[in-house]
């Protein structure tokens, strides 16, 4: 029965590689993850290396070199040119991860900007006009649903805050009967010592 290979070690162990050599092989493969991803993007789009070379204005051998380069040998310019040639977008983020609330605010700002750009598109074409109207209606509906969800979530959070900030005190009438053995007055039931 054939053995399925799931990890590099499944292939390298039978070939006699020791643990250190296996780790080196795995690291080398991981170091080519970006070039493998680029190749998969190109193949998925149905573009040959020759077509890619023509789109980028380079030779086919340059595309081949790029698709076999280690991650640290691919420049940002090469990456951007390759991605744009496939009609894709490259987003590069440098810095610490932002809190989710900040990400949501930025996403909202970006959405507003995109909607303004959409509103400025050509409106003389009836198909474009209908498409914009349908989009705006759907967007308004989805934004209203989102706003309603936020309101519900906020209400439940405020309710939880109120539950935690107001301690419940329950006093049974029977417990107010005090037996005072000192000369002071009971502050709870106003009994005076006898």
For the chain, domains (ranges, CATH) are 8-85 (1.10.260.40), 102-165 (no CATH)
- Please write the tens of the pLDDT for every residue from 80-95: 999 999 999 888 777 7
Give the global pTM.
Answer: 0.44
In Å, how far from its chain's centre is CA 122? 33
- Please write the tens of the pLDDT for every residue from 119-168: 777 667 788 778 878 888 888 888 888 888 888 888 777 777 777 665 55
CB 90 within 8 A of CB 82: no
């Amino acid at each position: 029965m054939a053995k399925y290979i799931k990890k590099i070690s499944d292939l390298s162990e039978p070939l006699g590689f020791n643990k250190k050599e296996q780790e080196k092989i795995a690291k080398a493969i991981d170091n080519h993850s970006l070039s493998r991803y680029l190749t998969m993007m190109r193949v998925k789009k149905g573009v040959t290396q020759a077509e890619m070379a023509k789109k980028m204005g380079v030779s086919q051998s340059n595309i081949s070199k790029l698709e076999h380069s280690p991650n640290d040998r691919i420049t940002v310019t090469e990456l951007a040119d390759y991605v744009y040639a496939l009609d894709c977008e490259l987003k590069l983020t440098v810095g610490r991860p932002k809190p989710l609330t900040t990400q949501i605010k930025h996403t909202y700002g970006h959405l507003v900007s995109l909607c303004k750009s959409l509103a400025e598109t050509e409106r003389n074409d009836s198909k474009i006009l209908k498409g914009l109207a349908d989009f705006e209606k759907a967007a308004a509906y989805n934004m209203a649903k989102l706003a309603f969800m936020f309101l519900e979530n906020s209400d439940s959070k405020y309710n939880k805050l109120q539950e935690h900030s107001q301690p419940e005190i329950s006093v049974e009438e029977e417990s107010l009967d005090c037996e005072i053995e000192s000369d002071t007055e009971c502050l709870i039931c106003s009994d005076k010592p006898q």
